[in-house]
Amino acid sequence: MLKLNHGTDILAASGGVNSIAEARAILTDTLDDTNLAKLDVIKTEDAWVKIANAVKLCEPDDVFVLSGSIQDRDEIRRRSIKKGEEKPLTMKDHTIHYDLPEEQGRIVDRTFYIVNEDEDTSVLAKTMIRDEAMEYVREHMRGIMKGKTMFVGFFSRGPQGAKLALPAIEISSSTYVMHSGLILYRNCFGTFDDQVKRSGTFLTNVHSEGLNRPEDLQHARVFMDRSWLTTFSMFCTYAGNTLLLKKGNHRMAVDLACYYGNSEALSEHMFITGMKDDSGRITWFAGAAPSGCGKTTTAMAGTDFVGDDLAQMWVDEDGTMRAINPEQGIFGIVADVNREGDPYLMKALREEGTEVIWSNVLVDDEGVTHWMGNGEEHPEHGVNFQGEWHKGKTKPDGTEIPISHPNARCTLRCDAIDNYNREHGEDPAGVPVKVVTYSGRDSDTMPPVWVGKSPDHGVVIGASIVSAATATEIGASGVKRQPWANAPFIPGPLADYMKVQFEFFNSSKFDADGQPVLAGLNYFLTDEARGGSSKKLLGEKRDVKVWLAWLAAYANGDVEAIETPIGYIPRYEDLHELFHKVIGKEYEWELYVKHFSLYIDNILSRIELQRDAFGKEKNLPSKLFEVYDEWESGLNELQQHHGSVVSPDQLQAFTAAG
């Protein structure tokens, strides 16, 4: 259980402001008339107290309240360029921001949940005891904004009024962070009080980049105070560490859904997208994937895109599962974004008319951006995430420096993307999700798509996501477990989260039509793993549309499927037709056999890996192991009849006979 408002409130204890009267006195003293008049719109007293405490702790020279007006937005952009956090590019409304070369991603090793002595947390989470974290905040954030302006913005994580939308305050001395916030989140300055009343709470985020020097990075920290719904971030700039509306608040949303959501709410690391068929029917999807495993690509493959990173989902009174995107923009990896695979995104990035903040890509002499895998010609030199760059430039260890960092990003609003469905994306009612997908990066085991036989099986598919390990993470088996692709953001014990997953998807409130189909997806099977000799993938980006189209057809009862011990897989004739119809591609039988034969030894050892790892966790629902048992005994029986590699036609015959 998570106890809210438990233990010392670090922000309040560090700032020393405990009443609205004190808060008013301090803010009246610090803010100029214009900004005080803006803040007067906010009636939520607790918000004043939080802001006053941030002022007392960080000691900024002045405070800028973001009203969300066009003038205020322009002012943030202007200041960001003046301050040097962003530089203008040749394309109108495009800017470039660089994070320090050593801070090109989430600083997982310096990210901690602040916990009370008596609290249970996930074994995967790094935690720090409240008193120690308070010491750290006091020592390192005291006066961190001296000589700087503190910006304060009011945002809604979700369409305003939506059941699971959460209001949040973002406080930062970084213009880049505030500018990103304005693009990625819905400003709710004028309605903040109503949003707080509706949701019963709000989240608070306090960040400062400090002097933004490489030598300070060792002191950089990201703290999530679970009990007081407050985050602290210091000495860093990468948005995943600083714009805590994103992953910082996602972690709190996971906590709130898990412990206060009555098993009818989920907060997931998922895209949301729709597939429209010939009749005009849209089938809505939500899908989990770890960072860098095709989540944005899948989202964009839909005809009706809604979100690419996060989803707040609930069991609705109308018997459906509903999802909203807490964000209104994308902070997307640009590596491998190209015309062929991502036409809509490329259009928004390469044609005038969209406001874009680029980060950590190469800028050439003409002020044009370039990145790896963009399918365009690259310049010989320019400036990138590590400074001056020329072709062949190497690091001290001799390895070549790529043109852009693999985690280089673009920040833009969803409605700049042609397939964004604004009507549904902005609807507080959310979209009714029919299909939930779970995918990772699996080179040799699971087929491109398979459907769980029951809600319980689907939950276990989600629990069993894996991704290829990076060079430094390779374990005995070379794969990294990524439960629900959400594990880095689950603060409490995994057992609590898993229990809610089982209860949610088995909810009796779903009507027959509203019960979502839960499926696995895998785009990363290699030729090598299916008897070939190359490491090439057995597929291409555009195939994603077909996998989604098949899932939509399956979920709507338009196609039959082949039953296997681990779930249902597509029939050849349906895929053959869909490949033609959706992407005009001839889908050969030989490729189908490679895609959908079950490699039983691989699957069994994968189940063993999961069983061993989960076996070390406390109090997991026994259902998890029961589903693994069921899969294993089915696979063993199949193997006795057909050997270790079972083709789809053997599977069909086996089920027919069985």
Provide the minimum distance between the beta carbon of 195 and Mn ion in the complex, in angstroms, as a whole number: 24
Q: Give 333 or 433: the residue with its C-beta nearer to ligand SAT.
A: 333
- Is 112 a residue that touches ligand SAT (CB under 6 A)? no
315 token code pair: 């069991």
CB 346 within 8 A of CB 338: yes
Instruction: Spell out a b/e string for 533-569, using b for 16 or more CB atoms within 10 Å of the CB, else e.
Output: eeeeebbebbbbbbbbbbbbbbbbeebebbbbbbbbb
Give the long-range contacts of residues 112-117, CB within 8 A, separation 24 or more: 112/221, 112/222, 112/223, 112/224, 113/223, 113/224, 113/226, 113/251, 113/491, 114/10, 114/223, 114/224, 114/225, 114/226, 114/227, 115/226, 116/3, 116/6, 116/7, 116/227
| Residue 389 interacting entry, from Mn ion, ligand SAT, none, C-beta within 5 to 8 Å by type | none
Q: Give 38 or 481: the residue with its C-beta nearer to Mn ion.
A: 481
236 given a catalytic annotation:
no
- Is 308 a residue that touches Mn ion (CB under 5 A)? no
Q: Give 335 or 517: the residue with its C-beta nearer to ligand SAT.
A: 335
Please select the residue that binds Mn ion; options are 85, 309, 342, 563, rule is CB under 5 A. 309
Measured distance between the N- and C-terminal CA atoms of the chain, rounded to whole angstroms: 45
- Is 268 a residue that touches Mn ion (CB under 5 A)? no
Binding mask 253-292 for ligand SAT (x = CB under 6 A): --------------------------------------x-
Provide the minimum distance between the beta carbon of 251 and ligand SAT in the complex, in angstroms, as a whole number: 11
Query: Please, which residues have CB within 8 angstroms of residue 512's CB and are 6 or more apart in sequence?
Result: none
Provide the minimum distance between the beta carbon of 311 and ligand SAT in the complex, in angstroms, as a whole number: 13
Binding mask 450-469 for Mn ion (x = CB under 5 A): --------------------
The number of residues that bind ligand SAT (CB under 6 A) is 8
Provide the minimum distance between the beta carbon of 308 and ligand SAT in the complex, in angstroms, as a whole number: 8
DSSP code, position 473: G
What dihedral do alpha carbons 551, 555, 556, 557 form, nearest 10°?
100
Which residues inside 224-253 make contact with ligand SAT, applying CB under 6 A?
239-240, 246-247
The number of residues that bind Mn ion (CB under 5 A) is 2
Please select the residue that binds ligand SAT; options are 112, 331, 438, 523, rule is CB under 6 A. 331
Which residues inside 286-305 make contact with Mn ion, applying CB under 5 A?
291
| Residue 106 interacting entry, from Mn ion, ligand SAT, none, C-beta within 5 to 8 Å by type | ligand SAT
In sequence order, the β-bridge partners of residue 417 are: none
Provide the minimum distance between the beta carbon of 441 and ligand SAT in the complex, in angstroms, as a whole number: 14
Stretch that binds Mn ion, among 34-42, 307-315, 468-476, 578-586 (CB under 5 A): 307-315
Query: Please, which residues have CB within 8 angstroms of residue 106's CB and are 6 or more apart in sequence?
Result: 222, 238, 240, 241, 247, 488
Which residues inside 69-108 make contact with ligand SAT, applying CB under 6 A?
106
- Is 296 a residue that touches ligand SAT (CB under 6 A)? no
Provide the minimum distance between the beta carbon of 619 and Mn ion in the complex, in angstroms, as a whole number: 28
- Residue whose token pair is 């985690």: 407
Query: Please, which residues have CB within 8 angstroms of residue 409's CB and are 6 or more apart in sequence?
Result: 239, 331, 332, 333, 334, 358, 359, 360
Q: Give 326 or 447: the residue with its C-beta nearer to Mn ion.
A: 326
- Is 563 a residue that touches Mn ion (CB under 5 A)? no
User: Of 142, 96, 97, whose CA–CA distance to 237 is shortest?
Assistant: 97
Residue with nearest beta carbon to Mn ion: 309
HSE (side-chain half, CA atoms, 13 Å) at 52: 23
Q: Give 67 or 291: the residue with its C-beta nearer to Mn ion.
A: 291
Continuous H helices in 556-621: 572-583, 589-596, 600-615
* 3 state DSSP class of 265: strand
* 3 state DSSP class of 601: helix
Q: Give 104 or 597: the residue with its C-beta nearer to ligand SAT.
A: 104
- Is 309 a residue that touches ligand SAT (CB under 6 A)? yes
- Candidates 58, 188, 293, 410; catalytic one: 293
Provide the minimum distance between the beta carbon of 305 and ligand SAT in the complex, in angstroms, as a whole number: 16
Q: Give 270 or 575: the residue with its C-beta nearer to ligand SAT.
A: 270
Binding mask 121-150 for Mn ion (x = CB under 5 A): ------------------------------
The whole-angstrom separation of Cα 435 and Cα 285 is 5
Q: Give 291 or 439: the residue with its C-beta nearer to ligand SAT.
A: 291
The whole-angstrom separation of Cα 285 and Cα 305 is 10
Query: Please, which residues have CB within 8 angstroms of residue 223's CB and are 6 or more apart in sequence?
Result: 111, 112, 113, 114, 128, 133, 136, 137, 231, 232, 233
Catalytic positions: 293
Interface contacts to Mn ion, rule CB under 5 A = 291, 309
Q: By CB under 6 A, name the binding residues for ligand SAT.
A: 106, 239-240, 246-247, 291, 309, 331
